[in-house]
Structure 1
Amino acid sequence: MTLSSEYKKQVLAVVDGSVGLAGGLLNERHVLEKLGQQITRIISASRIEGDEEVASFAMHVNNVVVALASGRLVPDENIRSLLRESFLEIRRSTQDNDDNNNNNNTSSNRTQIDPAIINKLKSVLTAAANTSEKDFIFLSSIDVLYIDADDFVYKSLAKRATDSMATIMKMTSIKLVSNASEARQLLFSSQEKFDVILCETDLPDESGLELIKEFSSRYPVVAISASDDPRSIQLAMKAGATDYIVKNETGIRMLPRSLHTAVVERQKRGQKTQKDEILKDPRAAKVLNYLMVSEDSVIEQTVEPSSYYKMQVLEPERDFSDTFATLERAGYVTKSSKRLALCCPRCRSANLVSYFVCANCNKSDFIKGDVIEHNRCGYNDMEFAFQKNDSKEHLFCPKCNKELKLIGVDYLRTEAAYKCKECSNIFPAPEQRFVCHDCDNSFRLSEGGWKSMYMYRLNSAKVQELNQKTLPLQSVEEYLSSKGFRISLEDYVDSKLQKFGQFDLVAYKENTIFVMIILGDDIELNHSRIIELDTMSRAVGSRVTAYAITFTDLRQVTRDLLSKFGIIVIQLKRPDQLLSKIQEYV
């Protein structure tokens, strides 16, 4: 079979564009949509041309992309490699056919698609089918309010209840209304409860964006539209949508997953808000900043009492026990037992001071020295009592006044004994007692309690989250100051008409404003901050240099937005890289 030059040119051009997409972020919806469009072009062109072998092979590739878009298949390096290999196989087959035609070979000599690659694609699709959307099984059913005058998507979703998406659809209850007025009646009704809103951006009675803006604080909202214009996506995200679905085959397949994800993310955001409050505590920040210095950083719980003057008008400083307990509950630190420590039997505090007393009179006033015992009269006392006229060379018994000459014959010597100044009791060792700094309770060792002392480490699973939320900016501020910038004490920029912010760092130098924002994994919050930054840049009269700091791979729609607004993206692996990166630009 002879292939036309137009067909070969079209297929090779599509393949060249698809190889790069196949190696990209396959968890991004727009990448999968673009990849699906490219494969559809190959299928259509090959069928028109009569190239059934390529058409059949491309269908296998398309099924893999559809499985990725629906969530039945999780993208990894093996999938990326297989898709790249598949597109390169289409290129090879087309080019080999071209070479064979130039050599006047018959169609029977055409190089066939590698069966091994076809088997790999089938194997991947079989595994995807067996998963049966198992990552959603743990979710409870959700109630969706769908606002759209066009019921095409609603009917399409109803059909999904009989195909491979049946597991998700059984857990998705959808109520359809055709306009904003009906939606408001239901949303304000005490009889109706919804977990998530699916809203068309173009409604018959008003803009869907206004409805999204009104209710996004109370419900997670997914926007849906026939338009794939990036500007429409930006407006929906700015209004408060958590995701944006295009009304096409790929979008409809991804919709149930998007709705369930929106509900889960809203629940997580409530947890994040609580965690953000924890990180605002200066004591918690101090602990985390220390632990984040290196992977080996550890904080050991210990007790080191010191001498102090207690005054009733002053409260002793509270320790970090509550702070560590809070950080552990939030999952930021892990603890392990280090040793047992003696504690007060009354208040369980390990903040103790040890002291020693005479066991006879309980007074803590004694002296240490050698003890002499006169064998003849039995008198015993400290050695200095036997030294007459302070003479250390001759010893005389204070009781009978006899001179002691030979040790072992005249007297015995006991080294390192103690004598109480209060009761004159002589004893080999004083009795140890403890006093609690917190409640003043005094007790013996046998009366005390025991408690575990812990060592704390940073939870490695939380490093990325903490990098975003506790990025130390002091070194950057010092560097900018050395370059003549004035660091603003405020986290906003004030134009003549309004204030813009909050930003993470603002600095001024002559007619230039330096602004930094830190982006996380919340796409709605990211877009809101980016748009706020761009609006500020247009409103002020000064030149604005804007930087977006991130520790994660941003979604492509977010990168496109940053690029469009001229915001410099700095992606870090560790917080200590920030200063060197800023120095490259400033």
Structure 2
Amino acid sequence: EYIGQTPACPNCKSVNIFTNYFCSKCKNNTFSKKEFITHIPCGKININKIAHPDEKLVCHHCMVYYDNRPSECSHISGFQCTKCDNTFTHPSISYSCNNCNVDKFFVNNVIWVDLFRYKLELENLNKIKKSIFFFMDLEQILKDLGYTIKQYDKFMNQDKSYGPFELIAYKDVEVILFITLSDDLHYNLSRIFEMDFKSNITNKKIKSFAIAFFEPQDIIFRILKKFDIIPLVKADGKDLVKEIRNYI
């Protein structure tokens, strides 16, 4: 189901971006909420509601008194900068990417990407739940063995990144990488090829695993062997965890 569009980073196309709000005059990013009165004849905003003794309001731009009624003025909500006292109805906006760290780009720089809502079939939902609980158990075991764990992260080495991978375990020069396989051949091949970098890494001892909760295609087993990736195939996540213990 199509939902709409959302801004994405112009560098890496990630939608994991942070929105920065700031004053257009001094670039300060702290401001307070204010209620303003707009004098309709001149269109200017008055911050202070200074009233005449007969309850009329004063316009500091026209220097006239006027009645507090819809034909003379309108009440609006806005903001006032805490540094320079600039007033505005909407703060200026820029974005920063949390994925590649590109900083302070604007709405006219972003890439607009389509958003869709998907409904998971019960069978696929159960697979996801099984995978989540499996990695929770695996993470705890590896932590007990002294590893530092990163889930759904990229492997970084000498300013180069690879992945992301479902789980990465670090200890001294040891690195253990985990990917999960599905019943989609093209997906499995793309995940395996993402691990085709180990021969270029000489300062780390890397061990990699491919997790499957069902029997993958024969060609997948052959490619895993070629890439020196250990296949772990079990229907039950607890059995997988037990088998992994034999390798670490």
Larger-Rg structure:
1
TM-score bucket (shorter structure):
0.3 to 0.5
Q: What is the TM-score with the length of structure 1 in the denominator? A: 0.21
Structure with more of its chain in helix, by fraction: 1
Structure with more of its chain in strand, by fraction: 2
